[in-house]
Each structure stands twice: as structure tokens, then as C-alpha cells.
Chains A and B, each alone.
Chain A
């Protein structure tokens, strides 16, 4: 299957700081999605990206579809304690199958 590499694996930041994480692949993807998962729950979709270079925001979250189509980036501005969770990227080449990254665990210290 396809391998999506997410970095960093984990982050410990102070409340109010900005956060950046990314997702890379050796394959070209046509769709990138970003999800957040909290303990004991299923993932929740944050942002969907459909075109190379696309920049999309959802509140304090901004995600970009990389120009090469092999990567995507997620930024969180002015982090708050409720941002804690695991953030997953997911990509689709064609068809209906999405491949998920291994996740970035975010801890926000008040």
C-alpha cells in the first residue's frame, strides 16, 4: 500500500503557540484530507483539499495542497488546550481508497 509519512510524530507546545505539521508521499495524490482524532473517538474531518497549490482555512486551521502533489501541510494558529489530539493526513490517488498517515500527536500545555 501507499506510505504517507507524517512529521513530527509528536509535539509539545505552549498554549498560544502556532503549530506546523506535514505529510509526504512518494506518490502523487489527487485529494488530501486532514483529520483530528481525540481519545476513544473516531477521526473528524477538518479540511479537504482538491487542487495542487490550494490553501484552505477552517477557523484557526490552515492546510495546503503541495505544488508537487506529493505533500500537504497543516498549520494551527494560536493553539488552545482543546487542540489536543492526534492529527492525521489522508490522501487519495484515484478511485475511492484513502491512505492514512501515522499521525502527529499534539499536546498543548496551558
Chain B
């Protein structure tokens, strides 16, 4: 059981470039989330999904897109990278079934630097 895996671990992008952050979970969880964490700050929710084919915006969705075609995968897309998107990105998953639906398991993070 690998849990939640994220790739890449670190990436440098130039302004205007695009990239996809990959997230995969092998726990058959229904819920998946993308957060960003800026230095010295808490996590802010970008997008989340409660099941394959269903996604919804979080607190800071601008500049990002997601898709959920399978239960396992929840990629995050940056179309036109901006310096404000420099951050650490965490993917998480949760069972989505009582009583443990709130237990989010986090991946190790992707560090993104936009120059």
C-alpha cells in the first residue's frame, strides 16, 4: 500500500509554461483534494472531488484545473504558470464514508517554483 503518491517532487517552471501535477491513491478512497501551502501558512484548498467525474472548487481555484476520470487519479493542471503559484502542493484523499470520511491522508507534496 503506497497511500497517496505525488509526482514530481520538485519542479521549476518559467512564467507562462504549463504543467500537470500528478496524484494517485491506492486506498480506493472516494474523496480527493488539492491544497497549496505557502511559506509559514496553513493549507488552502484549491479543488476537491467526491468521486470519479465530480469535481468542485475550493477556496483558491483560479489558475488551476482538475479532472477525475478514475477513482485513483486526480491530476492538477496549471495552464499559464505565474510567480504567485510558487508554492508546495499537497494532494490528499479520504474514504468519504462514515465514520472516517474526514480522515484525509496526505501525499508528500510537490514543490513548485515559477520564475
Residues of A within 8 A of B (CB): 1, 4, 31, 33, 40-45, 48, 88, 90, 92, 96-103
Contact = CB atoms under 8 A, between A and B. Distances in A.
Interface string B24-36: 0000000100010
B109 A41 contact: yes
B106 A97 contact: no
Interface in B74-115: 90, 92, 102-109
B31 A96 contact: yes
Interface of B: 4, 31, 35, 40-45, 48, 50, 56, 58-60, 90, 92, 102-109
A96 B31 CA distance: 9
Contact of A92 (B4, B102, B103, B105): B102
Contact of B41 (A43, A90, A98, A102): A102
A39 to B, nearest CB: 11
A109 B4 CA distance: 32
A90 to B, nearest CB: 8
A102 B42 contact: yes
A91 B28 CA distance: 24
A45 B104 contact: yes
A41 B108 contact: yes
B43 A100 contact: yes
